[in-house]
Amino acid sequence: MPKLKRLSGKEVITFCEQHNFSISRQKGSHINLVRIVSEKKQVVTVPNHKEIDRGTLHNIFKKLSSFIPEEDLRKFFFTD
């Protein structure tokens, strides 16, 4: 059964940027990433930590799954 990888905030932000998200603002260690698709704003918040807690990572995965095809997300977020 695939498990969530241990990922840093930097890795998740880079992945989001590859899917046309860009950093809109930062408050403390939390970074808001935004992209506009057919005039709709898509926002996800990523903590810029060395290692993101698994629960938080799962929530980011769920949030992104409404914006990015799940197949792409699974390759990045889960082990084989």
Domain that holds residue 39: 9-72
What's this model's pTM, rounded to 2 decimal places?
0.93
Per-residue pLDDT averaged across 16-40, rounded? 96
Tens of pLDDT, residue by residue over 47-58, are: 999 999 999 999
Per-residue pLDDT averaged across 9-38, rounded? 97
* Mean pLDDT, the chain, integer: 96
Q: How many domains, in total, are found in the chain?
A: 1
Structure tokens at 3: 């498990």
Instruction: Supply the pLDDT for residue 1.
Output: 84
Q: Do the domain assignments include residue 78?
A: no
Q: Do the domain assignments include residue 66?
A: yes
Token pair 């060395």 in the structure block, residue: 50
Say which CATH number the domain at 27 has: 3.30.920
Q: CA separation (Å) from 67 to 4, 7, 29, 39?
A: 19, 20, 23, 14
Q: Do the domain assignments include residue 64?
A: yes
Q: Do the domain assignments include residue 25?
A: yes
Q: Do the domain assignments include residue 4?
A: no
